Structure 1
Amino acid sequence: MRTPGFWYGTPDTASRLIARSLAPFGALYGLAGRLRMAAATPYRADIPVVCVGNLVAGGAGKTPVALALLEALKARGIAAHALTRGHGGTERGPLRVDPARHGPVEVGDEALLLAAAAPCWVARDRAAGARAAAAQGAPALVMDDGFQNPGLAKDLSLIVVDGAAGFGNGLLIPAGPLREPVAWGLARADAMVVVGEDRTGVAGLAGSLPVLHARLEPDGAGDLAGRPVLAFAGIGRPEKFFATLEAAGARIVERAAFADHHPYRAGEIARLLERAGDLGALPVTTAKDAVRLDLEARARVRVLPVRAVWRNTGALDALLDRLMVL
Structure 2
Amino acid sequence: MAGAAPDFWWRKADWRSAALRPLAAVYGAVAAHRMRHAPRVPVEVPVLCVGNFTVGGEGKTPVAIALARKAREMGLNPGFLSRGHGGAHGGLHRVDASGDDAAMVGDEPLLLARAAPTVVARDRVDGARRLIGEGCDLIIMDDGFQSAHLAMDFALMVMDARRGLGNGLVLPAGPLRAPLDEQMRHADALLCMGEGDGAQDVPNRFERAGKAVFRAAVQPVNVDDFRGRRVLAFAGIGNPSKFFDSLRSAGAEVAVARPFPDHHPYTHAELQALLAEAEAQGLALVTTEKDLVRISTGTGTGAALREKILCLRIEAVFSGQDDAARIIEQTISRGRERIGRSGRD
- Are 2:315 and 1:307 equivalent residues in the alignment? yes
Q: d(CA) in 2 for partners of 1:197 and 1:33?
A: 30
Alignment coverage as a number of residue pairs: 322
- Which structure 2 residues correspond to residues 93-172 of structure 1 after superposition, within 5 A? 93-172=91-170
Q: d(CA) in 1 for partners of 2:228 and 2:37?
A: 55
Aligned residues with identical type, % of pairs: 41
Instruction: Between 32-41 and 83-92, report the one with greater CA deviation.
Output: 32-41
Match of 1:105, as an amino acid?
Answer: A
Q: d(CA) in 2 for partners of 1:104 and 1:65?
A: 20
Q: Deviations over 1:228-285 (max 9, x none)?
A: 1000000001000001111111111111000000000011000000000011000010
Q: d(CA) in 2 for partners of 1:37 and 1:311?
A: 31
The equivalent of 2:186 in structure 1 is: 188
Contact conserved, 1:212 with 1:316, CA < 8 A, in 2? Answer: no
State the TM-score, normalized to the length of structure 1: 0.96
- Are 2:7 and 1:5 equivalent residues in the alignment? yes
Q: d(CA) in 2 for partners of 1:316 and 1:220?
A: 23
CA RMSD of aligned residues (A): 1.2
- Which structure 2 residues correspond to residues 213-228 of structure 1 after superposition, within 5 A? 213-228=215-230
Contact conserved, 2:97 with 2:111, CA < 8 A, in 1? Answer: no
Q: d(CA) in 2 for partners of 1:30 and 1:256?
A: 33
The equivalent of 2:51 in structure 1 is: 53
Unpaired stretches in structure 1, ≥5 consecutive residues: none
Q: Residue 324 of structure 1 aligns to a residue in which SS?
A: helix
Unpaired stretches in structure 2, ≥5 consecutive residues: 296-301, 337-345
Q: Residue 233 of structure 2 aligns to a residue in which SS?
A: strand
The equivalent of 1:205 in structure 2 is: 205
C-alpha displacement of 1:94: 1.6
Match of 1:127, as an amino acid?
Answer: V
Match of 1:109, as an amino acid?
Answer: D
- Are 2:87 and 1:89 equivalent residues in the alignment? yes
Q: d(CA) in 1 for partners of 2:269 and 2:172?
A: 32
C-alpha displacement of 1:150: 4.0
Q: d(CA) in 1 for partners of 2:155 and 2:314?
A: 23
Q: d(CA) in 2 for partners of 1:100 and 1:307?
A: 20
Find the partner of 2:273 among 271, 274, 289: 271
Match of 1:182, as an amino acid?
Answer: L
Q: d(CA) in 1 for partners of 2:323 and 2:230?
A: 39
Contact conserved, 2:112 with 2:118, CA < 8 A, in 1? Answer: yes
Find the partner of 1:18 among 16, 19, 28: 16
C-alpha displacement of 1:39: 4.0
Contact conserved, 2:288 with 2:312, CA < 8 A, in 1? Answer: yes
Q: Residue 313 of structure 1 aligns to a residue in which SS?
A: coil
Match of 2:280, as an amino acid?
Answer: D
Q: Deviations over 1:31-76 (max 9, x none)?
A: 1112223442211010111000001011110001000110110110
State the TM-score, normalized to the length of structure 2: 0.91
Contact conserved, 2:234 with 2:259, CA < 8 A, in 1? Answer: yes
Instruction: Between 118-127 and 182-191, report the one with greater CA deviation.
Output: 182-191
Contact conserved, 2:57 with 2:238, CA < 8 A, in 1? Answer: yes
Q: d(CA) in 1 for partners of 2:225 and 2:103?
A: 32
Q: d(CA) in 1 for partners of 2:30 and 2:247?
A: 40
Contact conserved, 1:56 with 1:179, CA < 8 A, in 2? Answer: yes
Match of 2:317, as an amino acid?
Answer: V
